[in-house]
A and B are shown apart, each in its own frame.
Chain A
Amino acid sequence: MTSVMAGSTIRQAARRIRPESQLEEQLAERYIRGDESAFEEIVASYQGYVAGLTYRLLGWGGDVEDVVQEVFLAVFRNLGKFRGDSSLNTWLTAITVNKCRSWRRKHLLKMKLLKIAGRQKQAAPPRSDQGVMNRETFDRVRRTLQGLPGHYREVMVLHYMEEMPITEVAEVLGLRRNVVDVRLSRARARIREKLADLIEK
Chain B
Amino acid sequence: MVEDDLKQLLIQTDRAAGPAVAPRADLASRIRHLDRRRRRITMISEPIALAAGLMLAMGIFFWTGKKPISIAKPQAVPPELVQNTGIPEVPTTTPDTKAELAQMSLALVQLQAEAETQMLVVRQLRAWERQQARLAELERQLAAIPDPLEEVRRQVEQAAYTMVYHADLKYNKLNLKDSAIQDFQRVIKLYPQTRWAQVAQNKLSEIRYNRKGALL
Contacts and interface: CB of A to CB of B under 8 A. Distances in A.
B215 interface: no
**Interface size range of chain B in the complex:** 35 or more
B31 A64 contact: no
A133 B143 contact: no
A191 B6 contact: yes
Given A51-B21, A188-B3, A76 B32 contact: yes
A64 B20 contact: yes
A39 B10 contact: no
A130 B30 contact: no
Nearest to A130: B16
Contacts of A73: 31, 34-35, 38
A141 interface: yes
Interface string B128-144: 00001000100110110
A15 to B, nearest CB: 25
Contacts, number: 123
Contact of B6 (A40, A126, A192): A192
Interface stretch (B117-125, B195-203, B205-213): B117-125
The 4 closest A-B pairs by CB, nearest first: A128-B18, A55-B20, A127-B18, A133-B16
Interface of A: 39-40, 43-44, 47-48, 51-52, 54-56, 60, 64-65, 68-69, 72-73, 76-77, 108-109, 112-113, 116, 126-128, 130, 132-133, 137-138, 141-142, 145, 149, 151, 156, 160-161, 175-176, 178-179, 182-183, 188, 191-192, 195, 198-200
Given A60-B13, A109-B121, A132-B12, 12 more contacts: A43-B27, A47-B23, A52-B19, A73-B38, A76-B31, A128-B18, A133-B16, A138-B13, A141-B13, A192-B6, A199-B6, A199-B9
